[in-house]
Structure 1
Amino acid sequence: MEPPLPHPDPAQLRWLFIDLNAFFASAEQQMNPDWRGKPVIVRPAPSEYSGAIAASYESRPYGIRTGTRVSEARKLCPDLIVAEARPDVYVKLHKQIMAEINLHIPVFKVGSIDECSCELQGPERIEANAVALARRIQDGIKKNVGECLRSSVGLAPSRFLAKTACGMKKPDGLTILRLHELPAPLLDLPVSDFPGIGRRMQQRLAAAGIHDTQGLWAMSPKQARAVWNSVEGERIWRGLHGLHTELPPEQAPASIGHSHVLAAEMRTPEKTRAVARRLLVKCGARLRRMGVTGGVLGLHIEMEGADRYERRRGERVAVQCHLDPTQDTFALLAALDGLWRQAAPVLKRGRPNTVGVNILNLKPRAAFEADLFSDGPDMNGNAPSLRLSQAMDELNKRFGKDTISIGPNAGLPAYIGAKIAFNRIPDEEDFWE
C-alpha cells in the first residue's frame, strides 16, 4: 500500500489576528511628537495612586508595566511622561485603524479597541501571501494612520492560536503557528499566555493537575469542558488544537454601568455623590439611546485601601433597589438618593476611592405590555420628566456635552463615564451624553 500523499497545505493558515502595541501610550506619542522615543505611561485619572493603563516600550527597561502605580513609576523613571487618558482620541484612532485594515482584508471581529481578527480566504491562505498581507497591514497603519502605531500580527489555523501568536513577538512582530508543527511552538509558553486563561482559570487547571502547556494540550475535549464547567472549555480545546469553532451568539447586554476612579481632590462624600449622579445621567441617556428600560439600580463605592492592580480591597459598599421599568433620568436620580442614604455610614469611615452605578434587568421598552392599572414604563413614554430627559439629549447632542445639565458640573472630570473597557469601545455618543 502506498503512503498517503502529503497535505498540499500542512500549515492550514486560516486566521490573521492583529494587536496594536501599547496602544494608548503609542497614541499619545503619535499626538505629541516631542514624546516619541521617550518613556510614557497613561493613567485613567489624575491620581498618583492609580495604575498605568498603558506603558510605552521605552518605559519597559525601567520595570514599568501596565498596572504599575503612577507614584512607583515616577520613582523608577524620574523622566517619565505621565499622560491623562483621552478616550475620545483613542476611539477616533481605533476607527481609522479598522478602516485601514478593511482596505486590505475585511475585519471579521473587533475584539477590543486595540485588536481584531480577520479570516483569510482563498489565495490569502498560502503562507507567503498571508505574510505579505500582514506586512502590508502593519505598514499601512504606520503610513496612513500614525508612524508610532506599531502592531503585532499572528497567523494560525484558528482564531485562538492567531491571538496567541500575536502576543508572542512584540512590538512589530509577526508570528506564524502552523498546524503540522503543533504543539512544539507552544510548549514553552505558560498557560497564562493563552486567551481566556486568567488567574482563576489557572487555579482551576492546577486543581485538575494541569500546570503547563503540555498538560493543557494533552487534555481531552471532555476534560476541558469539565474543568471550565461549560462549553467554553471545549471551544478553547478546539482552538488550541487549531480547529475551527463558531463564535458563541451575541447576546443583548443584561446591564449597563459606569464607574470612575476618583482624583484626590474628589474624594469627599459630596464630590463623590456628584460623580455618581453624573455617571447615572450618562446611564439614563444610554438607556434611551438603546430603547430599553432598567428595573434595578445599583451603587457601589470602594474606599481608599483598595488596589485593583495589587488585588487588595478596601472597604466596599454595594447596594441595590428595584425600580418600575424606566429610562427616565429623573426617576433614576430619585432612586439614587435612596441608595446614597444607605451608603452614607460607610463614607463617614474613610475616603472614597472609586464610585460606580449600574442598571440591570434591561428590557426593550416596546416589549412592555400595559395592563388596566398601568400605562407602562414612564407613562408609555409620556411622563413629563422623561420628555424633558429626551429634550436634554437632543440639546447636548447638538451643542455639546453638558449644554444642559442636572445640577452644577463644575470640577467634574472631562471624560467621566467614557471609559474604554476590555469588551466595550465607547460610542461617539458617549462623549456628549
Structure 2
Amino acid sequence: MEQANEDSAGLRWLFVDLNAFFASVEQQMNPDWQGRPVIVRPAMSEYTGAIAASYESKAWGVHTGMRVSEARKLCPGLIVAEARPDLYVAVHKKIMAEIDRHVPVWKVGSIDECSCELLGPERQEANAVALARRIQAGILENVGDCLRSSIGLAPSRFLAKTACGMKKPAGLTILRANELPGPLLDLPLSKYPGIGPRMRLRLEAAGVADTAGLWTMSARQARAVWNSIEGERIWRGLHGLDSEPTPEKPPASISHSHVLAQAMRTPDKARAVARRLVVKCGARLRRMGLTGASLTLHLDMGPKATPRSDRRGWETAAMSCPVAPTQDTFALLTALDVLWRKVEPELEAGRLSYVGVGVHGLKSRDAFETDLFDTGPDQGGEAPSLRLSQALDALNRRYGKDTVSIGPKAGLPEFIGAKIAFTRIPEAEDFWE
C-alpha cells in the first residue's frame, strides 16, 4: 500500500531543524533585539563560548563556540544574552506540539530538531512539500515569528537530516531517490551527520576524501572504516535506505556541570557550585529509581597567573571516588568532600573556569536483592539521611526550588546544572531540583 503512494522521489522522511534556536528565542522574547546581532552565553563571563548565534551576528563572522570577548570585537552592537534553559525547553515543547498537529513527531533528536515519518499520500512529493510549508508557517504563526526552521525531505532519515542543513535559514531541501548521488556530489564530508574531524581522517586514510568516494564504498568497507555497525548505517542512509533504530541503552552515568562566571572563580564558591551539582545528581537518582557506585569531580583551570613560576600546576583535573551503591545526597556529598580535599591545595582564585560532577555505575535500586546480612543500598531505603533527602525533594517539588537547601546558596546562579545537552533535554523537574 505504501509503495503505491510513492513517486520516483521516494520521500519517506521529513526532518525539522530550528535555526539559531536559543538566539531566535531571545529575539522573540525581546522585540527590540529582532533583526539585531545576538549571541547566548552559558555564564556571565567574557571568556566563555557562545552557545548560539543569530544569523545577524553570523554575518559578522561570529559563530557558536566563539569566545564572547572575541565576538564583541568582531561585531559592533552585539547583544549578549544569558542562557535561560527553562524558557528554551518551554518553547521547544510548543514547537513540537505544533509540528505534531501536522504530522506525528517520530523522534526528537535534540532541543532544536526532530524527525517525522511520512505515510500514505504524504510520500508523494507535492504533498510532502505542502506539509513542510504548513509546518514552517505554523511555527511562525502559532509559536513565534522569529522562530524560523529548515526542513529536509528525503528517502532516509540520514539524508533528510543532511538535506535540512543544506539551506539555512528557513530552507526547504529535497533529496530525491531517483537523483542520487547527484545533488550530494559537491557536499563536503563535514556536512554529513556523524562524520566529524576524526572520522574524516580515518576516511582519508582509507582513500575517501569526498562524497563520490563515500558513495562508491561498499557497506562492508564502511563498516570496516568505522569499525562498527555505525559505518553500515551511514552507508545505507547515504543510499536512501533506512536501518533499524539503534536500541536505547540505559544510562551508564548522570552528570551536571557549570561554567563559572568570573565572580564564582574562587575555591570556596567553586566548591559551593560542586555541592549544588551533587545535590542535583542525587535528586535525579531518586527520581529515576537508580543508585550510583562512584562520584567523579572534573575541574578546568586557566593558565597560571604567574608565568615565571616553576610549578605550572594542571589545567584540568578529573578524579573519582567509589561509594557504596547509593541515591542519598548526603553520601554523595561526603564523597565530594574527599575529592575536594585532594585538589584544594592546587586551587587558585581566578583560574577555575568549569566544574562538573558525575555519578557512575548506575543500577536500578530494585535490582538489589536483600538478605539476612545485607539490607541493600541506603539500608534498604531506610537510612535517615536518605529519608531526609527524600523529604527535601518533596518540599522543593511542592514549594519551589531551594525552598530548603543543603548549606548556604552562596549567590549561586539560578539555572546551575540545568544545561541543555545535545542529546538530552532537561525535564521540568530539572528546574526545581
Report the TM-score range of the alignment, normalised by the length of the smaller protein.
Answer: over 0.9
**1:95 partner SS:** helix
Output the amino acid matched with 2:48.
Answer: S
TM-score (ref. length: structure 1): 0.95
1: CA distance, partners of 2:266 / 2:6: 67
Does 2:156 match 1:174? no
Q: How many residues align?
A: 420
Cα deviations by residue, 1:351-387 (Å, 9 ceiling, x for unpaired): 1111100001100001101233221100111001001
Amino acid of the structure 1 residue aligned with 2:224: A
Which residue identity does 2:268 align to in structure 1? Answer: E
Give, in angstroms, the shift of residue 349 of structure 1. 9.1
Q: Distance in 1 between matches of 2:325 and 2:86?
A: 31
User: TM-score, normalising length from structure 2?
Assistant: 0.95
Q: Which residue of 1 aligns with 2:139?
A: 141
How far apart are residue 346 of structure 1 and its match? 2.9
> Which residue of structure 2 lines up, in the alignment, with residue 12 of structure 1?
10
> Displacement of 1:131 after TM fit?
0.2
Q: Percent identity?
A: 73
- Structure 1 residue 52 corresponds to structure 2 residue 50: yes
The corresponding residue for 2:389 is 389
Instruction: Tell me the equivalent position of 1:108.
Output: 106
Report how far residue 350 of structure 1 moved: 6.9
Determine the structure 1 residue equivalent to 2:21. 23
Residues 258 and 279 in structure 1, CA contact (< 8 A), matched pair in contact too: yes
User: Residue type of the partner of 2:346?
Assistant: V
Indicate the residue corresponding to 1:165 in structure 2. Answer: 163
* Distance change in 2, residues 1:142/1:349 (3 Å): closer
Matches within 5 A, 1:33-432: 33-305=31-303, 315-348=315-348, 351-432=351-432
Contact 1:276/1:355 (8 A) holds in 2: yes
Q: Distance in 1 between matches of 2:320 and 2:61?
A: 41
In structure 2, the residue corresponding to 1:62 is in which secondary structure? coil
> Residue 110 of structure 1: SS of its match in structure 2?
strand
Q: What's the counterpart of residue 310 of structure 2? A: none
- Residue aligned with 1:320, SS: strand
Deviation of 1:8 after TM superposition, in Å, equals 6.8
The more displaced of 403-412 and 161-170 is: 403-412
Amino acid at match of 1:323: V
Amino acid at match of 1:422: F
Q: Which amino acid aligns with 1:412?
A: L
Rounded Cα–Cα distance in structure 2 between residues aligned with 1:346 and 1:183: 56
Report if aligned partners of 1:317, 1:346 keep a CA contact under 8 Å in 2. Answer: no
Which residue identity is paired with 1:164?
T
**Compared CA separation, residues 376 and 191, structure 1 to 2 (3 A):** same
Q: Secondary structure at the match of 2:114?
A: strand
Secondary structure class of the residue paired with 1:380: helix
Asked if 2 retains the 8 angstrom alpha-carbon contact of 1:396 and 1:403, the reply is yes
How far did residue 250 of structure 1 move? Answer: 1.0
- Following TM superposition, by how much is the alpha carbon of 1:410 offset from its aligned partner in structure 2, in angstroms? 2.7
CA RMSD of aligned residues (A): 1.3
Is the contact between residue 319 and residue 343 of structure 1 (CA under 8 Å) also seen in structure 2?
no
SS at match of 1:68: coil
Distance 1:363 1:8, change over 3 A: closer
Give the residue type in structure 2 aligned to 1:142: L
For residues 111 and 140 of structure 1, the distance between their equivalents in structure 2, rounded to whole angstroms, comes to 20
Give the 3 Å change call, closer, same or farther, for CA 180–318 of structure 1 in structure 2: same
The amino acid across from 1:374 in the alignment is D
User: Runs (4+) of structure 1 moved beyond 4 Å?
Assistant: none
Q: 1:15 touches 1:162 (CA, 8 Å); kept in 2?
A: yes
The residue type paired with residue 274 of structure 1 is A
Note the C-alpha offset of 1:211. Answer: 1.2
Task: Indicate if the aligned counterparts of 1:52 and 1:67 stay in contact, CA closer than 8 A.
Answer: yes
* 1:261-297 CA-partner distances (Å, limit 9, x unpaired): 1011111111111100000000000000000000111
Q: Distance in 1 between matches of 2:167 and 2:215?
A: 22
Residue of structure 2 equivalent to 1:310: none
**1:121 CA displacement:** 0.2
Cα displacement string for residues 215-257 of structure 1 (whole angstroms, at most 9, x for unaligned residues) = 1111111111111110010000000000011111111111000
